[in-house]
Amino acid sequence: MSLVVGLDVGTQSVKLVAYDAATREVVATQGHPLELIAGDDGSREQEAAWWLDAIRACFVKLEPALRARVAALGVSGQQHGFVPLDAAGRVLAPAKLWCDTSTQRECDGIMAAAGGARRCVALAGNPILAGYTASKLPWTRRHRPDAYRQLASILLPHDYVNFWLTGERWMECGDASGTGWLDVRARRWAAPLLAATDGERDLSACLPPLVEADASFPIAPAVADELGLPRTVRVAAGGGDNMMAAIGTGNVVPGVLSMSLGTSGTLFAHADRPVVDEEGRWAAFCSSTGGWLPLICTMNCTVATENVARAFGFDSRDGDAVLAGTAPGAGGLVLLPFFNGERTPDLPHARASLHGMDAGNLGRGNLYRAAMEGATYALRYGYELLQAAGMRFDAIRLTGGGSHSAAWRQMVADVFELPVDVPTQAEGAAFGAALQALWALDHAGGGQAGIAALAAEHVRLAPELSARPDANAAAVYRSHYGRFRQHLEAAVASHAHRSAADGD
């Protein structure tokens, strides 16, 4: 029987999931780590060639007999990255990533040229935030003028992988809505925002065509041969990692809330209409299924726990054992986990800060718990924004690396006071890419399968990983979260004061 493959090109690694839809079984998973180029100015970059090398490494680890059964594959990619290509399809510079906060000046410049943040929301549904693709263009023009002069194609990370796989360039609306240029209401490029990004050239000429979410393309024969795949493989449209994680967690109908505990933390839900906030407090994205995906993104999630683990010389995979003997509230420690700046709330220049230290609470267990709690509280803050917009949820579906931690699963249940369920496929983005490939393969063959029906059939929950709120812990967290909010509001006020002083 044939297989579908999902690839997740993340910040820390590339992951591969091979899925047999007939038996509803993941027959193989592979992974390969990635390096990160980090600068003191907040820049975060990777070489696009590293992604391709990691994909090759994943397929080499996949048994030849399995590779021969692959019928389709889909690519999930970290959002917002900028891969500049010249007219011959060569990469011109390292890819600036979603977590790159060095472009705040450029964000401000684009929004000023467009008429302000609210005008950007009116034009496209989103302001231009640090990390979004749009701001990376004027940064490149200023800092890498030779590359900018040769720029012929603007691709996102998953678009570039698709280009390598097929020799064709396209975008789909889910990932494209993270550029800052896509009018998410109408699913077309917002010309005024492209002009505000660069008024001296037509950037729309550098953007590939937008395709439907169920589109697919033939794999390039040379690449199929290199990877040991059949030349008949179809490559699905793919999408951003959050859009693919939505599919992989079954979040393709209204009423489901997904949470991803990865390098960044995200909350997202499916909507059958655009869900736009005039103040731009959440991302008003399209989904990669033809709908919309209101999304809260925090820049620091497992980043926080891994930084603490590294500082104390242990592996974050041993974090639950390190937490033994600690209690909710971390002995009074409160960590604002802004190691990479922050997006929700919009604090691109913020830095992490630790509060409430005393002679008795400053141990590695409490500090590790404070990092986990701080990352969870930041998501709780975003959740309250969705609640204020009238969105209601009965449970959380958890994915990402943090979902492997029993302590973190229970913490989420207690802090949000909602039941937590975990899909059996922990790699939600890669599995979602595989399911999108299955959907696209069906449609390429003349079928009419719906993505909601496919998700309902193939997404399964692992009852042994579920967590239910503990009333006593929830009460402690409500109080402790209040202290987190006080420190957060002080950071927001300080940022506003500095911004006003800079404006003067």
**Residue 46 near residue 36, CB atoms below 8 Å:** yes
Q: Is 308 helix (H, G, I), strand (E, B) or coil?
A: helix
Residue whose entry in the numeric block shows the structure tokens 């240029």: 181
**Residue 297 near residue 285, CB atoms below 8 Å:** no
**How much of the chain is helix, strand and coil, in % rounded to 5?**
45, 20, 35
Residue 388 main-chain phi, psi, to 5 deg: -65, -25
Catalytic center residues: 241
Alpha-carbon gap, residue 400 to 403, rounded angstroms: 6
SS3 letters across 331-348 = HHCEEECCECEECCCCEC
Close Cβ partners of 115 (under 8 Å, ≥ 6 residues apart): none
Alpha-carbon gap, residue 339 to 253, rounded angstroms: 34
Alpha-carbon gap, residue 302 to 497, rounded angstroms: 30
Residue whose entry in the numeric block shows the structure tokens 């992490």: 352
Close Cβ partners of 291 (under 8 Å, ≥ 6 residues apart): 252, 270, 271, 272
Residue 186 main-chain phi, psi, to 5 deg: -100, -10
Q: Give the number of other Cβ atoms within 10 Å of residue 198's Cβ.
A: 18
Tell me the angle at which helices 406-416 and 364-388 cross, rounded to the nearest 10 degrees. Answer: 40
**Residue 5 near residue 71, CB atoms below 8 Å:** no
Alpha-carbon gap, residue 309 to 420, rounded angstroms: 25
Alpha-carbon gap, residue 154 to 190, rounded angstroms: 15
8-state DSSP, 134 = G
Buried b (16+ CB within 10 A) or exposed e, 356-380: beeeebebbbbbbbbbbbbbbbbbb
8-state DSSP, 301 = S
